[in-house]
Structure 1
Amino acid sequence: MNYEAFYQKSIEKPQEFWREEATMIDWDKPFEQVLDYSSAPRTRWFTGGTTNLCHNAVDRWLPTQAKTPALIAISTETDSERTYSFEQLHSEVNQVAAMLLSLGVKRGDRVLIYMPMVAEAVFVMLACARIGAVHVVVFGGFAASSLATRIDDATPALIVSTDAGSRGKKVVNYKQLLDEAIGLSEHEVPQVLLLSRGLVSTAIVDGRDVDYDTLRQAHLGAHVPVTWLEANDTSYILYTSGTTGKPKGIQRDVGGYAVALAASMKYIFSGKPGEVFFSTSDIGWVVGHSYIVYGPLLAGMATVLYEGLPTQPDPGVWWRIVEQYEVSLMFSAPTAIRVLKKYPLENMQKYDTSSLRTLFLAGEPLDKGTSEWISNALGVSVIDNYWQTETGWPILGVATGANGKKVPAGSSGVAVYGYQVSIVDDATGAECAANEKGMIMIEGPLPPGCFQTIFRSDQRFIDSYWKQHGDRWLYSSSDWGIRDSDNNYYVLGRSDDVINTAGHRLGTREIEECIAGHEAVSEVAVVGVVDPLKGQIPIAFVVPRSLEHVADDAGRAALRDALSKQVDNRVGSFARPSAIHFVEMLPKTRSGKLLRRSIQAMCEGREAGDISTLENPEALQKIDTIISANHG
């Protein structure tokens, strides 16, 4: 069956299609109905069936590959590496499950996890899944105030944390931040399970804080039976990044998520049991949930958990991991690759990366230049894919395991099976013609694995994401895109990243990709800034490949002129940035996403907003200095 027929079956006969895919996981009790869409746009998949994520990720593999690697925990921050087999992972998870039960955690309770990229964080996630508790992982980069809002919304029965993390060999005091957050929150946190890494001295709160290692010793060798959950029970809550005001807790089910991830590992990533999967994300984000923890393990693969930077101890560290552990599949973000692009190729070429079959990139639009550079450097296919926290797995991509065709560079792929994607005129609701810009939307029902609702705010779920046209419900991605005549999709960026300048509407990505295509450019961010005459004007912040290009006024002027002409020739003079500033780095979150909104706010004289996840504060400070100098 070719991919087009495979895809059409998923759209035209979803019940038959997903009934077949559901055989990829174990069910304790068979489901009675594949899809219940009676309360549209809400979906209930595999109703009546009982299953368990931990069982399918760990226990299921014990009869066939108990001794093979399951979790490879690497920290270049603490210079430690340890590999856990499926058997050892099973033992650790059972012990943690017993620990949670001893602390009074029950089925349905929320357990908030505020931890860095350490193996124990994965043990806790899987242990929650095992006993039917709902894990709520909060990204370790969040400041105390942001953590407090999530504590108040989730009202956890237990928080699991650590004394500290480390980033670039700089210690981050998690315990101090957690204590401050608990002090700020209204919810009374009954207990904190605390892992000591010996990175900082911590103040223990008597009657609340419990030492992880001491409790673990009390439960060595414990075995906790799996709690079988109805497919639509909640598996986890994950708060969307960058929220303002009350955070949005994305609520995910159990059965649909397990089936969707198992299928994606086969059809999108082409993973096989016994192979090694390396995602460079963080467990605090959706990629970490889906493709560090659950997806690879559901496929019987070993998964790499990496604590550290892509550039330390040197820019070849990722490729050393690929060589040492014979990584087959890798998943990263375009921003990370752009960072590595600034360093000599020898950092990559000194390692044997022949085990690597494919590099997948997602998280933001992938420009053609970056895609071609890394593909040529590694000698492997580079495949873009596009999705969101809300969907949990790719919306657009190339289903390599289902005879998916190659797509043009710059395209995020075609619609993935299960997703009825269209480009829609957001003003009229009409579907756009080929190559016409519009909003990326998905007609309900959403496939398995997508969010059920927003935790404690079902009406917000409807109001924020859905539009009804007759009896059709459309999920709005809030991203602009176009579809070409061959049904390849191109993501142009967030709807709030669109610049309206002198009557022209264009996505910032169009200008960014044009500038990024110049050989002297490493990275670029373009933002739309309010202008009294044109409405908005584009301003570009460019990181040059070499600072020698912009070492003096003449060099800066020459490169500005070259970049302006490139925009004129490829997009049009109306898109030419009103200003091009050269910087050494761009402000990014620890997950690698550019803080375009903060740059835009500063350009307009506003506060930068929530920068609690900012990796490099000095980058924003330098941009502020440039803006002040130009306004002065």
Structure 2
Amino acid sequence: MTDEVQLEARLAAQDEFEPPASFVEGANVTDEGIYEEFEQNWPEAWEHAAELLTWESGWDEVLNDDDEPFYEWFVGGELNASANCLDRHLDERGDEPAIEWVGELGETRTYTYRELHREVNEFAAALREQGVEEDDVVAMYMPMIPELPVAMLACARIGAPHAVVFAGFSADALAERMNASDSEYLVTVDGYYRRGDALDHLSKARKGRDQVDGDVTTVVVDRLGEEGPEVTGDERVYGELVAANEGVEVEPVTRDAEDMLFLMYTSGTTGKPKGVKHTTGGYLSYVTWTSHAVLDVKPEDTYWCSADIGWITGHSYIVYGPLALGTTSVMYEGTPDYPDKDRLWEIVDDYDVTQLYTAPTAIRAFMKWGPEYPERHDLSSLRLLGTVGEPINPRAWKWYYKHIGNEECPIVDTWWQTETGGMMITTLP
């Protein structure tokens, strides 16, 4: 047995780490009886999740499992995901931040719930003008910019499923997913910044679009300004479409609980990418409840999941879960080590972030860079830490607990996958 293996074995055999009493007292879920309830009262216990949402009509049955494995959740219920993430918060949270966005070059944008609601409505109206109808699939090929969640929620508002393609994927990957989903609509961006350099994204989007069967209506977000490629031909400019619909309100389309909210394609690392259909009622209930119970999200929080919306983690725990709960969700465009290796901790400090949900790979990078970078900043606003994406080794867990959480933040280690839509194995904080 090597010294490294022996060390890992010793680290794995540590005492339990209890959350502070102050955290326990204020946690969203404090009754350990929840475990027994879900075991003994399956599936009706999941009504707790659905009750966190606003339904236009209630469900007749929690779970229909007559046609396994094609399960149906909250059968007969009707709702709209966009209305749950926006409209229902306007009276009490309208002037509070919904999204705090930080660009890689340091520029910032704040969208209050009222401002986000307005732009989502305006873009929903624009999509309808471009011919998007209920159940049409709209492809999205964008990095971490606010227009991505705007476009997602606009699609949800009019009942058009979205299919987000990770911006780092190739043009061929975009074409493959658009052809597989029969998508005739694409929302993309002229470019974005990485390590201070402006990257042309539109050329890649055009190359992929040209491989799609049939005509494609394309909307382009202007991120780079004069540094970006020009919009040509029949391409539409996002900002112009939104401005042309200023002040327009679109009534949310009533969706059955089993209607598709979005398509998310698996990465394709082990074969051809597979399109996973996530429905409106079951998915939204689940990511809202797990955000509430596992990540302990409250409306007054400033919560940050540092994933990319191009992956399922970003869909569930940057957009739909946090916004359904009326909290503030942080988005960051760039990499964690630009312009310096304290970039994340600077954002935590600047925005008084209360929860940080990140990947063990990132934590191991932070360890390599050293504790001097988080020590430059006040991280005392943090009250919960989370991990996602892969198993976390004991050394990284302890470093995260000590240097980021100051040995005061519970850590929730979560396991799940694209197909599940939300956390499947985790502790409660």
Aligned position for 1:101: 128
CA distance in 2 between partners of 1:110 and 1:47 (Å): 23
Which of 330, 344, 353 pairs up with 2:370?
Answer: 344
Q: In the alignment, what sits opposite 1:235?
A: 261
Given candidates 180, 183, 200, the residue that maps to 1:173 is 200
Contact 2:119/2:242 (8 A) holds in 1? no
2:159 aligned residue (112, 132, 145)? 132
Distance 2:269 2:80 in 1: 30
The match for 2:412 is 383
Amino acid paired to 1:12: Q
> Pairwise mapping of residues 216-227 of structure 1 onto structure 2 (< 5 A)?
216-227=242-253
TM-score (norm 2): 0.89
Report the Cα distance in structure 1 between the residues aligned to 2:427 and 2:226, rounded to whole angstroms: 43
Structure 1 residue runs of 4+, over 6 Å off?
Answer: none
Q: Distance in 2 between matches of 1:189 and 1:287?
A: 31
RMSD: 1.6
In the alignment, the residues of structure 2 paired with residue 374 and residue 264 of structure 1 have an alpha-carbon distance, to the nearest angstrom, of 22
Larger RCO (alpha carbons 8 Å, 6+ apart): 2
Cα distance in 2, alignment partners of residues 221 and 261 from structure 1: 30
1:345 offset after TM fit, Å? 1.8
SS of 2:51's equivalent in the other structure is: helix
2:84 to 41, 46, 56: 56
The SS at the match of 2:229 is coil
Superposed, which structure 2 residues align to 1:130-529 within 5 Å? 130-185=157-212, 187-197=213-223, 198=225, 200-206=227-233, 208-243=234-269, 246-378=272-404, 379=406, 380-400=409-429
1:202: Cα distance to partner?
A: 2.5
Question: Could you list the per-position Cα deviations for residues 265-286 of structure 1 after superposition, in whole angstroms to 9, with x for gaps in the alignment?
Answer: 2211111112111111101001
Distance in 1, matches of 2:93 and 2:222, equals 32
Q: Indicate if the aligned counterparts of 2:305 and 2:314 stay in contact, CA closer than 8 A.
A: yes
Secondary structure, aligned partner of 1:87: helix
Residues 341 and 275 from structure 1, CA distance in 2 versus in 1: closer, same or farther, beyond 3 angstroms?
Answer: same
User: For residue 610 of structure 1, what is the aligned residue in structure 2?
Assistant: none
Residue 87, structure 1, aligned to residue 127, structure 2:
no
C-alpha displacement at 1:15, in angstroms?
3.4
1:32 aligns with 2:57: no
Query: CA shift at 1:2, angstroms?
Result: 7.5
Counterpart Cα distance in 2 of 1:351 and 1:130: 40
Residues 336-390 of structure 1, C-alpha deviations (whole Å, 9 max, x = no match): 1111112232211121111101110110110000110121112133321111111
| One-letter identity of the residue aligned with 2:398 | E
CA contact (8 A) 2:218 2:236 kept: yes
Deviations 1:10-64 (A, max 9, x none): 2332232122332111000111111110001211001111011111111111111
The partner residue of 1:6 within 34, 46, 69 is: 34
Distance in 1 of aligned mates of 2:101 and 2:73: 34
Larger radius of gyration: 1
Taking structure 1 as reference, are residues 243 and 3 closer, same or farther at Cα in structure 2, changes over 3 Å only?
farther
- The C-alpha deviation readout for 1:495-533, integer Å capped at 9, x for no partner, is xxxxxxxxxxxxxxxxxxxxxxxxxxxxxxxxxxxxxxx
* Greater percentage in strand: 1
Report % sequence identity: 35
SS of residue paired to 1:300? coil
Q: Which letter does structure 2 place at the counterpart of 1:262? A: T
Task: For 1:107, give the aligned amino acid.
Answer: E
Report what 1:445 is aligned to: none
Kindly provide the amino acid, as one letter, of the partner of residue 144 in structure 1.
A
- Deviation (angstroms), 1:9: 2.4
Secondary structure (helix, strand or coil) at the match of 1:346 reads coil
Question: Residues 275-303 of structure 1, C-alpha deviation per residue, up to 9 Å, x if partnerless?
Answer: 11111110100110001111111111100
Structure 1 segments unaligned to the other structure (5+ residues) = 401-632
Q: 1:92 is aligned with what amino acid?
A: E
Residue identity in the other structure for 2:383: R
Matched residue SS, 1:24: coil
Partner AA of 1:343 in structure 2 = W
Select the residue among 51, 70, 75 that pairs with 1:47: 75
TM-score between the two structures when normalised by the length of structure 1: 0.61
Shift of 1:204: 3.8
Contact 2:142 2:148 in 1 (8 A): yes
Contact persistence 2:276–2:419 (CA under 8 A) = yes
Contact 1:250 1:390 in 2 (8 A): yes
Shift of the 383–16 alpha-carbon distance from structure 1 to 2, 3 Å rule, reads closer
